[in-house]
Structure 1
Amino acid sequence: MKTTIQYIFLPIALLFLASCQQKGNEFKTDKEDYDRFLASAPVKPTSKYFNLWNGKIKSDSTQLLSLGNVASEYARFFKATGDIQYLKDAEQSLKKAVEIAAVGKSGYLRALARNYISQHRFKEALVLAKEARALGSGEKETQSLLFDLHMELGNYDLANQYLDSIQNMSDFGYLIRVAKWNDHKGDLDTAIQFMEKAMAKAESSKNKNLLLWSYTNLADFYGHAGRIEDSYKLYLRALQIDPQNAYAKKGIAWIVYSYERNGEEALRILDAIMQKNKSPEYYLLKAEVASFINNDILRVQALDDYYKVVASNKNYGDMYNAYNVDFLLSMEVEQKAFELAQEEVLNRPTPESYGLFAYSLLHLGEKQKAMQVIEEHVVNATYEPAILQQAAEIYKANGKKDRVSELKNELLSATYELGPIKEAQIAGL
Structure 2
Amino acid sequence: MMKTNAYISLFLAGLFCLCCAEEDQFKTKREDYDQFLMAEPVKTTSKYFELWDNKIMQDSVQLLSLGNVAGEYTRFFQGTGDIKHLKKAEQSLKKAVDIAAVGKAGYLRALARNYISQHRFKEALELASEAMKMRSGVNATQSLLFDIHMELGNYGQAQLYLDSIQNMSDFGYLIRVAKWNDHKGDLQTAIRFMEKAKEKAESSNNRNLLLWSYTNLADFYGHAGRIEESYRFYLKALHMDPQNAYAKKGIAWIVYSHERNGHEALRILDSIIKRNKSPEYHLLKAEIASYMNDETLRMQSLDNYYKSVVRDGYGQMYNAYNVGFYLDVDAMDRALQLAKEEVGNRPTPETYAWLAYSLLKRGEKERALELVEDYVDGQTFEPEILFCVAEIYKANGQTEKVKEIKKELLGAVYELGPVKELGIASL
TM-score above 0.5: yes
SS state at 1:226 partner: coil
Question: 1:253: which partner in 2?
Answer: 252
Question: 1:362: which partner in 2?
Answer: 360
1:102 aligns with 2:97: no
CA distance 1:357–1:47, change in 2 (3 Å): same
Residue deviations 1:195-253 (CA, integer Å, cap 9, x gap): 00000000000000000000000000000000000000000000011000000000000
Alignment RMSD: 1.6
Q: How many residues align?
A: 412
**TM-score, length-normalised on structure 1?**
0.94
Alignment partners' CA distance in 2, 1:55 and 1:193: 46
Question: 1:214: which partner in 2?
Answer: 213
Letter in 1 for 2:380: T
Do 2:23 and 2:227's aligned partners in 1 also have CA atoms closer than 8 Å?
Answer: no
Alignment partners' CA distance in 2, 1:373 and 1:90: 38
Alignment partners' CA distance in 1, 2:103 and 2:223: 40
Alignment partners' CA distance in 2, 1:26 and 1:412: 19
Alignment partners' CA distance in 2, 1:42 and 1:32: 20
Alignment partners' CA distance in 2, 1:322 and 1:343: 10
Alignment partners' CA distance in 2, 1:66 and 1:359: 47
Question: 2:425: which partner in 1?
Answer: 427
Counterparts of 1:220-259 in structure 2 under 5 Å? 220-259=219-258
SS state at 1:55 partner: helix
Residue deviations 1:256-292 (CA, integer Å, cap 9, x gap): 0000000000000000001100000000000000111
CA distance 1:373–1:39, change in 2 (3 Å): same
CA distance 1:22–1:370, change in 2 (3 Å): closer
SS state at 1:57 partner: helix
After TM superposition, what 4+ stretches of structure 1 lie above 2 angstroms from structure 2? 21-26
Counterparts of 1:222-301 in structure 2 under 5 Å? 222-301=221-300
Question: 2:351: which partner in 1?
Answer: 353
Of residues 266-275 and 330-339 in structure 1, the stretch that sits farther from structure 2 once superposed is: 330-339
Do 2:44 and 2:76's aligned partners in 1 also have CA atoms closer than 8 Å?
Answer: yes
1:349, CA displacement in angstroms? 0.5
Letter in 2 for 1:336: R
Alignment partners' CA distance in 2, 1:311 and 1:37: 30
Alignment partners' CA distance in 2, 1:114 and 1:372: 34
Where structure 2 has 5 or more consecutive residues not aligned to the other structure, the ranges are 1-13
CA distance 1:392–1:93, change in 2 (3 Å): same
Alignment partners' CA distance in 2, 1:206 and 1:23: 33
Alignment partners' CA distance in 1, 2:195 and 2:23: 28
1:26, CA displacement in angstroms? 2.2
1:313, CA displacement in angstroms? 2.8
Letter in 2 for 1:275: K
Question: 1:142: which partner in 2?
Answer: 141
Do 2:115 and 2:123's aligned partners in 1 also have CA atoms closer than 8 Å?
Answer: yes
CA distance 1:24–1:386, change in 2 (3 Å): closer
Counterparts of 1:20-419 in structure 2 under 5 Å? 22=21, 26-58=25-57, 61-314=60-313, 316-419=314-417
1:391, CA displacement in angstroms? 0.3
CA distance 1:22–1:191, change in 2 (3 Å): closer
Alignment partners' CA distance in 2, 1:101 and 1:319: 28
CA distance 1:349–1:23, change in 2 (3 Å): closer
CA distance 1:23–1:203, change in 2 (3 Å): closer
- Percent identity between matched residues is 69
CA distance 1:213–1:94, change in 2 (3 Å): same
Alignment partners' CA distance in 2, 1:193 and 1:213: 16
SS state at 1:56 partner: helix
SS state at 1:45 partner: coil
Letter in 1 for 2:323: V
Alignment partners' CA distance in 1, 2:41 and 2:291: 29
1:365, CA displacement in angstroms? 1.1
Alignment partners' CA distance in 2, 1:280 and 1:199: 29
Alignment partners' CA distance in 1, 2:60 and 2:311: 32
Alignment partners' CA distance in 2, 1:360 and 1:388: 14
Alignment partners' CA distance in 2, 1:374 and 1:238: 38
Question: 1:11: which partner in 2?
Answer: none
Do 2:23 and 2:226's aligned partners in 1 also have CA atoms closer than 8 Å?
Answer: no
SS state at 2:56 partner: coil
1:364, CA displacement in angstroms? 1.4
SS state at 2:384 partner: helix
Do 2:23 and 2:228's aligned partners in 1 also have CA atoms closer than 8 Å?
Answer: no
Question: 1:9: which partner in 2?
Answer: none
CA distance 1:25–1:369, change in 2 (3 Å): closer
Residue deviations 1:122-164 (CA, integer Å, cap 9, x gap): 0000000000000110000000000000000000000000000
Alignment partners' CA distance in 2, 1:302 and 1:293: 13
Question: 2:6: which partner in 1?
Answer: none
**Structure whose CA Rg is larger:** 1
Letter in 1 for 2:387: Q
